[in-house]
Amino acid sequence: MNLILKKYSGILFFMLVYGVLCFFMVINDHSFLYLMLVWNILLATLPLFFIEFSLFQNKKNKPIGAIVFGILWLVFFPNSMYIITDLIHISSDKLVWFEASAQYSINNGIMYSNDIMHWLKLFVIGIGVVYGLLIGMESLNIFYRFLNQKRAKLISCFIVAGVSLISGVGVYIGRFLRFNSWDLLRPLSVLRGLFTNINKFAIEFMVAFAGFILIMFLFYVLFRKVIAGISEAEQDKL
């Protein structure tokens, strides 16, 4: 496991830098939102380590450990995707608005905020969103590659689609019902809350978010293939 921690030491360093950045924002913007962002970044990172630990246990022929970490990966994976919903926190900041202006005005009445803290808030949240999506896609890609070694590719795709749908449910439960990952220790409360609040929008959101995950995963896999192809081409030139 030390090899896994060493492999992702750069990620741990990024988390430290992001934490310092968020601490700077707390001091200057006087908002505890940034402490929440640090927490969300931590939760978004855990799935990557869980899937790596699961594969490590599998290589060591320890099926129980592999299953436990695999379940933890599935439980925490929605946290990586959930982080995109943090973009709602910029809705309270007036970054752009429209004011009446002369007919041939250069800006057509569009005004932009000159408050740098509003823009820094957008940038900090944006960094967290990009990070969460990338690290989430990487953990899903590791799981997908493992499936391809054990199952037919079509079956692997269906399983990934199932994981995406489960994640859509998880994000809905987290964002709208305000449950956390550890609330699964009391599953009856989570299920009661879900079935009590299930409605047309909930289903639409879950399916739409599952589709979002699948599209992002397709982009991620294709991008990795392009990068791998470029690297191979560069090697051939040497």
Per-residue pLDDT of 119-128, as tens digits, reads 999 999 999 9
**Has residue 230 got a pLDDT over 80?**
no
Q: What is the rounded average pLDDT of the residues 166-170?
A: 95
pLDDT value of position 36? 93
Tell me how crowded residue 41 is: count the other CB atoms within 10 A of its CB: 23
Closest CA to 121 of 153, 99, 89, 148: 89
Number of domains the chain is built from: 1
Beta carbons of 140 and 120 less than 8 angstroms apart: no
Query: What three-state secondary structure class fits 80?
Result: helix
pLDDT value of position 154? 92
- Give me the phi and psi of 97, to 5 degrees please: -155, 170
**Has residue 134 got a pLDDT over 90?**
yes
Beta carbons of 52 and 142 less than 8 angstroms apart: yes
**pLDDT averaged over every residue in the chain:** 88
Per-residue pLDDT of 21-51, as tens digits, reads 999 999 998 888 999 999 999 999 999 999 9
Of the CA atoms within 13 Å of residue 204, those in its CB half-sphere come to 3
Integer Cα distance of 124 and 112 in angstroms:
19
pLDDT value of position 237? 61
Separation in Å, CA 141 to CA 41, 208, 214, 227: 19, 20, 11, 15
Closest CA to 166 of 152, 151, 149, 184: 184
Beta carbons of 88 and 40 less than 8 angstroms apart: no
Domain with 151 in it: 2-237
Hey, what are 234's tokens?
């560069």
